[in-house]
Amino acid sequence: MGAGAAALPCLIPASALGRDGAVAPSERIVMGVIGIGGRGSYDLSQLLTMPEVQMVAVCDVLKRQRQAAKNMVDNRLGTKDCAMFSDLRQLLAERTDVDAVLIATGDRWHALAATLAMRAGKDVYCEKPACLTMAQGQMVVEAARRYARVYQTGAQRLSEPNHVFAIEMARTGRLGPVHTVYADCRWRDGLRHDWLPAEPEPPKDELDWDLFLGPSPWRPYNRGYLSSGWYHFYDFATDVAMWGAHTVAQALAGLDMTNVSSIEFEFAGPDATMVTRLSNGVKLVLFRVAGSVWEPCQFWHGACGERFDGSEGWAAAADGYAGPDVSSPKLLGEYQAILADYTARTQRPLNHLRDFLDCVRSRRLPVANQHVMQRAMNICLAADICEQLKRNLTFDLSKVEFVGDPEANRLRSRAMRAPFMD
């Protein structure tokens, strides 16, 4: 009987061998998602289309959101195996099989969640803005270094064709020496420093309010904080960085920042665009547009735009464009060639999540890595501090400190509430 059994053929599914378009188990990236609101659900839906991703766990403090995410994963995979967690710390501790996590919580959690995930040995794709303070940004950079983790921030326009074209036009000198760069910063004229009145808390299983607040100051429960209501309060958010986390990163990508040591911020008063000057002479304009995010301005039409002005012309891109804007139609003649050169030179796809997954395998730095994140966020946060103090400031990029201004330097960090920050 043993000999007969041995003679039977061993049937191995093609999927286990990576055939028929399937990805072999050894090549799969096991993932979890933390924070599954609007942006998190979108990112999750995109990850589920990528064959090498094996999504095994979802986490959210809101029961309805984690259940919806589990349903999305199970329906896509045809299983009931996706695990649910309300506490990200439990997911990180228990799911030792997870290679990487998507973090799309509220902003107050971004830096700490990313740090805890990297400490637990996970690679991290974290939505923007990546931190609320300069100290938090440095914490993320240090965690990626110490634990040798891959980190990508969700500045996805660094991987979108129109933006890549505009950035490459500036970076390669096709516009001549760049003298002025504009970044779309939809400032909100300050954040609220009060808090909402207390309401009865829902059952903890429906919403864990303490976890919702996380490292932010304790505030009484109020339903007005939910569904992005927190976005308007200083306790939970930033001002310039809400948009600038994208657009300042886009602007810097087209510049040679290797010889930039400092940046000067000019306080222009409420409702005014802020002009900053890099130490290499380039002017970086943090452009403020009143009204709708889609309201036209003289530099772009749409949202999240950047524009590079050089001695030989200009190029700009923003959301909703069929193609980039340029000072002369002939500049568009190189559109496909520039994109082809970019992908060949960098070996990067024009897809932000795909770039992250590729880097999880190769262990190289993603396009929006922790250093790119930190520099852009520091500039945004310095602009916030300039607005708070209502005076001009000079910021040393390498030292991550304001020059000769102790009051401004004290604003580089905020207290983080125990026990979330040990």
Predicted pLDDT of residue 394: 98
Q: What is the pLDDT of residues 11-61, one digit of tens each?
A: 555 454 555 556 777 789 999 999 999 999 999 999 999 999 999 999 999
CATH architecture label of 157-190+238-410: 2-Layer Sandwich (3.30)
pLDDT in tens, 341-383: 999 999 999 999 999 999 999 999 999 999 999 999 999 999 9
Beta strands 393-396 and 262-266 are antiparallel
Q: How confident is the model at residue 5 (pLDDT cuts 50, 70, 90)?
A: very low
Using the structure block, give the residue that is written with the tokens 């002025």: 180
The pairing of strands 29-34 and 100-103 is parallel
Instruction: For residue range 236-275, list pLDDT tens digits in order.
Output: 999 888 889 999 999 999 999 999 999 999 998 776 789 9
Which phi and psi angles does 212 have, rounded to 5°? -55, -45
Q: What is the structure's pLDDT at 354?
A: 98
188-212 pLDDT, tens digit per residue, is 667 899 999 999 999 999 999 999 9
Mean of pLDDT values over 209-227: 96
Judge whether residue 6 has pLDDT over 50.
no
| Helix, strand and coil in the chain, % to nearest 5 | 40, 15, 45
Domain range summary for the chain, segments of one domain joined by +: 16-155, 157-190+238-410
The predicted-structure confidence for 134-188, as pLDDT tens digits, reads as follows 999 999 999 999 999 999 999 999 999 999 999 999 999 999 999 999 999 876 6
Joined together, the tokens standing for residue 225 give 């904080």
Of the pLDDT bands very low, low, confident and very high (cuts 50, 70, 90), residue 4 is very low
Count Cβ atoms below 10 Å from residue 250 Cβ, excluding itself. 28
CA distances, 163 to each of 246, 295, 340 (Å): 11, 19, 14
Cα torsion 47, 49, 55, 58 to 10°: value is: 60
Q: How many Cα atoms occupy the beta-carbon half-sphere of 352 within 13 Å?
A: 23
Region of 414 (left: φ > 0; alpha: ψ -120 to 50; beta: rest) is beta
What are the angstrom distances between the C-alpha of 20 and each of 16, 28, 52, 77, 324?
Answer: 10, 15, 13, 17, 39
What's the pLDDT tens digit per position in 71-88?
999 999 999 999 999 999
pLDDT for position 32? 98
Question: What is the pLDDT, as a whole number, of residue 291?
Answer: 54
* Of 138, 143, 152, 218, the residue nearest 420 (C-alpha): 218
Q: Rounded distance, CA 154 to CA 315, Å?
A: 23
Q: 225 φ, ψ to 5°?
A: -80, -20
User: In angstroms, what CA-CA distances link 395 with 264, 348, 380, 398?
Assistant: 6, 32, 11, 9
R_g (Cα) of the chain, nearest Å: 23
Strands 313-317 and 401-402: unpaired
Determine the pLDDT at residue 2: 46
Cβ atoms of 421 and 112 within 8 Å: the answer is yes
Which of the listed CATH numbers 3.40.50.300, 3.40.50.720, 3.40.1410.10, 3.30.750.200 matches domain 16-155?
3.40.50.720
The number of helices, as runs of H, and strands, as runs of E, in the chain is 13, 15
Query: How many angstroms separate the CA atoms of 69 and 54, rounded?
Result: 14
pLDDT score of 289: 64
Same fold? 16-155, 157-190+238-410:
no
- Quote the pLDDT of residue 143: 98
Q: State residue 114's pLDDT score.
A: 98
Residues in the chain: 422
Cα separation, 13 vs 20, whole angstroms: 10
Q: Calculate what percentage of the chain has a pLDDT beyond 90.
A: 83
pLDDT at residue 290, rounded to an integer: 58
